[in-house]
Amino acid sequence: MALSELNDRLRFVLVRTSHSGNIGSAARAMRTMGFDRLTLVAPQRFPDPEATALAAGADDVLAKASIQEDVVAGLAGTTFALGLSARRRGVNIPELDPREGVAQAIAAARRGEQVALVFGNERTGLENDELSRCHAMIRIPSVDDFSSLNLSQAVQVVAYELRSALLADEVTDAKSPEAVPDPDEVPADAEQLERFFTHLGQMLDDIEFHKGRSPVTIMLKLRKLFLRARPELRELRILHGILADAQRMAEIAHKKD
């Protein structure tokens, strides 16, 4: 598979970026490694002259950057998301080093999936609800007493690891036949999963599953379960049907009461 085709399946997502210069520096870091798909979620300032200046010629990356209001919209169309975090959070998802994460990202891209590398705000990183929408977390193994990388530096590390792995795979590809991904086997994307999680939450409320307890913990555990399972769209349709039937039976029971 051509590098350009794989690159088109890899997206860098910057969430709530405070300093527009970091957007430009991140664009430059991406462009030097051959990537140009950038999504900005709720940036504080963009477009901005400082972003253009620090992009140092990567104007094409900035020009076609997608700007979205929230993480769900920022991950629209993606089926595999990896969140970058400097430390463990309250969200219990698999933690990978950059090479492990990159290997999984490329494997997903080869299967025809759209992949997102998600980076948080410069000061706070990814919040728990943002990280919970990712399938795994990448942690760059910096020293414990000074673990804070600049946003664009983190982007550069991941972009470099991606390019190195893709160049190595290109040699292997030349020696082996290309496998054509089956579109029916591609997992549901982020928006489809969010609709399912909304439906799941509604169903649990309708059957009074929580019985007055907070639904937050159980929903986080269920989200983790289904993100790990990575259901296909046709599997989600079955699950939606089950949820709808459960809601219908709950409505009948409530009417009898």
Identify which has the larger pLDDT, 138 or 211: 138
| C-alpha–C-alpha distance, residues 181 and 24, integer Å | 34
Q: What range does the domain containing 250 cover?
A: 190-255
- Asked if residue 133 and residue 9 are part of one domain, the reply reads yes
pLDDT of residue 173: 57
Q: Which residue has the tokens 């492990």?
A: 100
Instruction: Please give the structure tokens belonging to residue 83.
Output: 């969140």
- The DSSP code sequence of 1-25 is --HHHHHTTEEEEEES-S-HHHHHH
- The DSSP code sequence of 110-123 is HTT--EEEEE-BTT
| C-alpha–C-alpha distance, residues 246 and 241, integer Å | 9
What DSSP designation does 104 have? H
Domain boundary among 171, 201, 216: 171
Number of domains composing the chain: 2
Q: Determine, yes or no, domain membership for 176.
A: no
Render pLDDT for 167-199 as a digit per residue (tens, 0 to 9). Answer: 987 755 555 555 565 666 778 999 999 999 999
- Asked if residue 53 and residue 94 are part of one domain, the reply reads yes
Contact 12, 37 (CB under 8 A): yes
| C-alpha–C-alpha distance, residues 141 and 98, integer Å | 8
pLDDT of residue 124: 87
Q: Determine, yes or no, domain membership for 21.
A: yes
Instruction: Please give the structure tokens belonging to residue 225.
Output: 């379960």
Render pLDDT for 114-168 as a digit per residue (tens, 0 to 9). Answer: 999 999 999 889 999 999 999 999 999 888 888 778 999 999 999 999 999 999 8
| C-alpha–C-alpha distance, residues 106 and 166, integer Å | 8
pLDDT of residue 102: 96
- Asked if residue 213 and residue 134 are part of one domain, the reply reads no
Mean of pLDDT over the chain: 90
pLDDT of residue 182: 65
What DSSP designation does 175 have? T
